[in-house]
């Protein structure tokens, strides 16, 4: 869903010491629709410790919430400390709320839209921004008397809430050199010197408003940057944060949120959401806990106080980019003021499934899925509808099943729809959903899971399903038939082996970008206990950070003392060519396309001593010659290359294989156009001697790809000693036939006769989350609780 561009206005003007007037801006985000429905404004106070930051530093999930939940996001700037005190900050935030609720003031500043409601609002903020939200929203400070009405709800995210010496002694304790505790260990940083840029920011005459955006997790500014990003770290180093935000630290009691809450007679204020990470080194979570205790002491209960403790999370945990697979999303659900308001959270994956039921004949249904990472779903949905309406509606299903090769050509070769590909991009994603739905319908009609339906086909039947157009220079139908016939020998034994043991998996769950060291260590150890011996880590943001994280993972998986009791040693053949450590554990790294060709080679030189098996998606997925150069450039390091989850089609894989670019083939069940095209790629991989290790880092992909790996081993490659299949442990609870892992770190084989391709979602999940008519989108809450994090 598109994030609207902000409109910028001036909500107030203050007079400088030199007599000049300076306007303070506010950004307004409203949904880009023609609807005239009144939008509830959410006034969000930015992070930065009152020392730095701007209105532009908005968490991504807040921006997405604008269109998803029909809200108006109001993001004001305010004057910064130490040039002013927290009391002027409170004055500015108060004035931004007054402006939000005053249509005449809004119009006078140039904001003439009447879509934003003026009779209710929600108030919140992150880090230091959560402090004014609590002080003003709960009417704990005199400035609140200037606000026409209290908010419907308040949210405070990893907030600073007090600087009194009794409740916040850490703000008074110098840290020289500055260190943050991570997993019980101190990470030393270079001392920040009070000279040059830093001295300028501390000058009483320095600019009162920040002029550029703060980068996420920036520790110190570039020499030429006006950004104040070092100030909070400097304040913690010197133990002088209270004096920087309060001209007189003895006034700290006037803004001590916990004490002020306790002085209230009873809980008569708005609902409150307080969220924090329990591993926050920048703002200790005791800051939130003191407020929670105080609110409970005056009568706040589970209906009026909502607490989210994010295990293992540090500061700014909700600022991670869209690649982060699990994020905490804050959704503000408002009702009429007389009914009060509720603050709701849910844990959800950024990828969103699109289910495409194709044919309904009594109880027989087929489901297909493709996925995005949020934005663009409506485009995929429209493309699916175009394919289905043009080629499937009204057709008898048995003729489709009788020749699945012709059915694939029918779906993928529409002369007009093909024009917006061809065979790539959105139209190919949509084709995958439709094709896979037909396979799902076909296999359910035969009361077999998909893998079993295909395993039971003869080589002649199977080869008819495969689209050979454009790839016969790499593999001919005759060559494919010979591979399938050769693999027929021993097929029953391989099937029985898989049913008994399962298919070997590797885990990505321990290595996502944005995880701190403590979380990487905890999840790595947990994966060892679950039987995994292959681990993948995301890399590419910072080489020193990646070396540290990969070293941490290596130190755990290579340590015999970390191995679980009764662990079965992996076979030597399964580790061949993988740079396995002394315990038989293997690590892989994945860059998600961030580098140019030479950057990959240089980067991998620096990671080589940590012995990854391969680098996945090192550069642009279309750059075949670039991948060839990379493989040549790092071959002497003993590191392989894997790419394919964004390879558009069988032709791209053909070139990657012909040019000897890759060692591992990570096919994607939704990027390629369904089972047919995937069979073509697996046959080419067999011919070129490469192993298939499917990508499964997204919603429903694990459910899909276990079928594909079983087909590859039993029907095509006839060997899988070195193959591993990606496993990500989230969102399986939304599926009727979810996949699972056994104690040996292997996928259990899907055996449900009516499970089909395993992609049918639970009725409750589709009713809750189908956009925009789903229960969740209408009410802001799901009817079933999300599962706990592992």
353-455: CATH number: 3.30.390.10
7-164+251-349: CATH number: 3.40.50.1820
pLDDT(312) > 60:
yes
pLDDT at position 1: 52
Correct CATH for 490-562+571-750 of 1.20.120.160, 3.20.20.120, 3.40.640.10, 1.10.3720.10:
3.20.20.120
Q: Which of 695, 707, 730, 734 is catalytic?
A: 695
Identify the bridge partners of residue 12 per DSSP, sorted by sequence position. 24
pLDDT at position 152: 86
pLDDT at position 378: 84
pLDDT(373) > 80:
no
Render pLDDT for 375-427 as a digit per residue (tens, 0 to 9).
Answer: 788 898 889 988 988 888 777 888 899 999 999 999 998 888 888 999 999 99
Domain with CATH 3.40.50.1820 in the chain: 7-164+251-349
Domain with CATH 3.20.20.120 in the chain: 490-562+571-750
pLDDT(353) > 60:
no
- Asked if 686 and 717 count as a contact pair (C-beta separation under 8 A), the reply is yes
Burial class (CB in 10 A: 0-12, 13-18, 19+), 34: exposed
Identify the bridge partners of residue 355 per DSSP, sorted by sequence position. 369
| Per-residue tokens: 444 | 């359910």
Render pLDDT for 51-62 as a digit per residue (tens, 0 to 9).
Answer: 888 898 888 877
pLDDT at position 338: 29
Active site residue 695: yes
Render pLDDT for 25-40 as a digit per residue (tens, 0 to 9).
Answer: 999 999 887 666 788 8
Q: Mark residue 13 as left, alpha or beta (left: phi above 0; alpha: psi -120 to 50; beta: remaining).
A: beta
pLDDT at position 394: 72
Q: Which of 739, 742, 770, 733 is nearest to 755 (CA)?
A: 739
Nearby residues of 340 by Cβ (< 8 Å), 6 or more positions away: 152, 270, 271, 304
3-state SS string for 292-346: HHHHHHCCCCCCCEEEEEECCCCCCHHHCCCCCCEEEEEEEEECCHHHCEEEEEE
Q: Which of 761, 716, 714, 699 is nearest to 451 (CA)?
A: 714
Render pLDDT for 221-244 as a digit per residue (tens, 0 to 9).
Answer: 333 334 576 778 888 888 889 999
H helix or E strand, kind and range, residue 607: helix 597-607
Nearby residues of 613 by Cβ (< 8 Å), 6 or more positions away: 534, 577, 578, 579, 586, 587, 588, 639, 640
Alpha-carbon dihedral angle through residues 409, 415, 419, 423, given to the nearest 10 degrees: 10
Q: Which of 538, 654, 707, 732 is catalytic?
A: 538
Nearest-angstrom CA–CA distance, 377 and 774: 15
pLDDT at position 348: 29
Render pLDDT for 142-194 as a digit per residue (tens, 0 to 9).
Answer: 998 999 899 988 989 999 999 999 999 989 988 776 655 434 444 445 566 66
Nearest-angstrom CA–CA distance, 447 and 437: 15
Q: Which of 141, 121, 119, 122 is nearest to 132 (CA)?
A: 141
pLDDT(315) > 90:
no
Active site residue 538: yes
Q: Which of 505, 537, 523, 695 is nearest to 615 (CA)?
A: 537
pLDDT(371) > 80:
no
Render pLDDT for 244-270 as a digit per residue (tens, 0 to 9).
Answer: 999 788 899 999 999 999 988 676 678
pLDDT at position 354: 43
Mean pLDDT of the chain: 85
3-state secondary structure of 127: helix
Nearby residues of 195 by Cβ (< 8 Å), 6 or more positions away: none
pLDDT at position 363: 61
DSSP-derived pairing of the beta strands 586-590 and 534-538: parallel
Q: Which of 172, 151, 125, 158 is nearest to 291 (CA)?
A: 158
Residue 340 pLDDT class (50, 70, 90 cuts): very low
Distances (CA, A) of 744 to 95, 530, 566, 709: 60, 7, 11, 17
Render pLDDT for 733-743 as a digit per residue (tens, 0 to 9).
Answer: 889 999 999 99
Q: Which of 429, 388, 394 is nearest to 411 (CA)?
A: 388
Residues 235, 237, 242, 248, CA torsion sign: negative
Provide φ and ψ at 413, rounded to 5°. Answer: -120, 20
Domain with CATH 3.30.390.10 in the chain: 353-455
pLDDT at position 743: 92
Render pLDDT for 79-105 as a digit per residue (tens, 0 to 9).
Answer: 999 888 999 999 999 999 999 999 999
pLDDT at position 361: 43
Residue 335 pLDDT class (50, 70, 90 cuts): very low
Identify the bridge partners of residue 22 per DSSP, sorted by sequence position. 14
Provide φ and ψ at 68, rounded to 5°. Answer: -65, -35
pLDDT at position 466: 97
The per-residue b/e assignment along 446-460, b for 16 or more CB within 10 angstroms, e otherwise, is eebbbbbbbbebebe
pTM of the model: 0.59
Render pLDDT for 623-671 as a digit per residue (tens, 0 to 9).
Answer: 999 999 999 999 999 999 999 999 999 999 999 999 999 999 999 999 9
pLDDT(313) > 80:
no
Q: Which of 106, 114, 130, 150 is nearest to 48 (CA)?
A: 130
Nearby residues of 6 by Cβ (< 8 Å), 6 or more positions away: 27, 28, 29, 75
Residues 272, 322, 42, 256, CA torsion sign: positive
3-state secondary structure of 627: helix
pLDDT: which is higher, 2 or 550: 550
| Per-residue tokens: 261 | 């809450």
H helix or E strand, kind and range, residue 704: helix 701-711
pLDDT at position 270: 86
């Amino acid at each position: 869903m598109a994030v609207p561009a902000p409109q910028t206005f001036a909500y107030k003007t203050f007079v400088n010491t030199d007599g000049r007037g300076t306007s303070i801006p506010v950004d307004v985000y409203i949904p880009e629709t023609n609807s005239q429905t009144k939008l509830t404004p959410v006034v969000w106070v930015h992070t930065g410790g009152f020392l730095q930051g701007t209105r532009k530093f908005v968490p991504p999930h807040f921006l997405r919430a604008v269109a998803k939940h029909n809200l108006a996001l109001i993001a004001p700037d305010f004057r910064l400390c130490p040039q002013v005190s927290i009391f002027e900050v409170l004055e500015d935030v108060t004035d931004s709320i007054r402006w939000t609720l005053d249509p005449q003031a809004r119009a006078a500043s140039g904001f003439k839209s009447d879509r934003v409601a003026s009779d209710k609002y929600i108030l919140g903020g992150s880090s230091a921004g959560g402090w004014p939200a609590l002080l003003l929203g709960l009417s704990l400070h005199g400035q609140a008397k200037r606000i026409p009405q209290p908010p419907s709800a308040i949210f405070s995210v990893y907030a600073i809430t007090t600087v009194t010496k009794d409740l916040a002694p850490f703000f008074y304790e110098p840290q020289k050199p500055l260190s943050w505790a991570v997993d019980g260990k101190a990470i030393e940083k270079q001392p920040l010197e009070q000279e040059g840029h830093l001295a300028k920011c501390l000058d009483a005459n320095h600019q009162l408003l920040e002029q550029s955006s703060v980068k996420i997790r920036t520790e110190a500014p570039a020499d030429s940057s006006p950004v104040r990003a070092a100030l909070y770290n400097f304040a913690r180093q010197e133990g002088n944060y209270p004096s920087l935000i309060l001209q007189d630290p003895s006034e700290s009691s006037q803004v001590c949120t916990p004490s002020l809450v306790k002085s209230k007679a009873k809980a008569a204020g708005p609902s409150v959401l307080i969220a924090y990470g329990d591993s926050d080194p920048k703002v200790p979570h005791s800051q939130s806990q003191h407020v929670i205790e105080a609110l409970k002491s005056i009568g706040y209960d589970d209906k009026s106080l909502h607490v989210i403790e994010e295990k293992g999370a540090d500061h700014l945990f909700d600022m991670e980019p869209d690649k982060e697979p699990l994020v905490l999303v804050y959704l503000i659900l408002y009702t009429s003021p007389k009914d009060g308001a509720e603050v709701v959270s849910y844990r959800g994956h950024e990828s969103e499934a699109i289910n495409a039921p194709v044919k309904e004949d009594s109880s027989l249904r087929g489901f297909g899925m493709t996925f995005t990472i949020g934005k663009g779903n409506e485009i995929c949905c429209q493309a699916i509808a175009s394919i289905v309406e043009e080629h499937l509606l009204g057709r008898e299903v048995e003729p489709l099943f009788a020749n699945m090769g012709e059915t694939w050509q029918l779906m993928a070769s529409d002369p007009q729809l093909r024009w917006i590909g061809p065979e790539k991009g959105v139209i190919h994603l949509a084709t995958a959903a439709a094709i896979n739905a037909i396979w799902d319908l076909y296999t359910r009609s035969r009361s077999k899971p998909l893998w079993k339906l295909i395993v039971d086909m003869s080589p002649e039947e199977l080869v008819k399903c495969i689209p050979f157009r454009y790839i016969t220079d790499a593999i001919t139908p005759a060559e494919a038939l010979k591979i399938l016939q050769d693999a027929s020998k021993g097929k029953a034994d391989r099937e029985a082996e898989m049913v008994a043991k399962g298919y070997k998996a590797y885990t990505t769950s321990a290595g996502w970008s944005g995880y701190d060291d403590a979380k990487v260590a905890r999840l790595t150890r947990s994966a060892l206990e679950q039987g995994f011996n292959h681990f993948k880590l995301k890399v590419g943001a910072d080489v020193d950070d990646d070396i540290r994280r990969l070293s941490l993972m290596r130190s755990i998986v290579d340590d015999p003392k970390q191995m679980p009791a009764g662990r079965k040693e992996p076979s030597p053949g399964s580790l061949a060519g993988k740079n396995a450590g002394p315990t038989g554990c293997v690590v892989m790294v994945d860059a998600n396309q961030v580098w140019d060709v030479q950057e990959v080679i240089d980067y991998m030189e620096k990671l080589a001593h940590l012995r990854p098996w391969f680098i996945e998606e090192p550069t642009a997925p279309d750059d075949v010659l670039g991948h060839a150069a990379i493989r040549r450039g790092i071959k002497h390091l003993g590191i392989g290359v894997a790419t394919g989850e964004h390879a558009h089609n069988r032709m791209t894989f053909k070139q990657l294989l012909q040019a000897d670019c890759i060692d591992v083939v990570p096919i994607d069940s939704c990027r390629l156009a369904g089972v047919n095209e995937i069979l073509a790629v697996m046959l080419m991989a067999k011919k070129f001697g490469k192993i298939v290790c499917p990508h499964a880092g997204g919603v429903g992909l694990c459910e899909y790809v276990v079928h594909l790996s079983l087909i590859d081993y039993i029907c095509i490659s006839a060997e899988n000693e070195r193959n591993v299949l990606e496993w990500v442990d989230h969102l399986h609870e939304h599926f009727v036939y979810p996949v699972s892992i056994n104690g040996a770190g292997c996928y259990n084989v899907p055996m449900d006769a009516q499970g089909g391709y395993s992609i049918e979602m639970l009725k409750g999940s589709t009713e809750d989350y189908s956009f925009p008519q789903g229960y969740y989108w209408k009410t802001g809450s799901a009817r079933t609780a999300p599962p706990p994090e592992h």
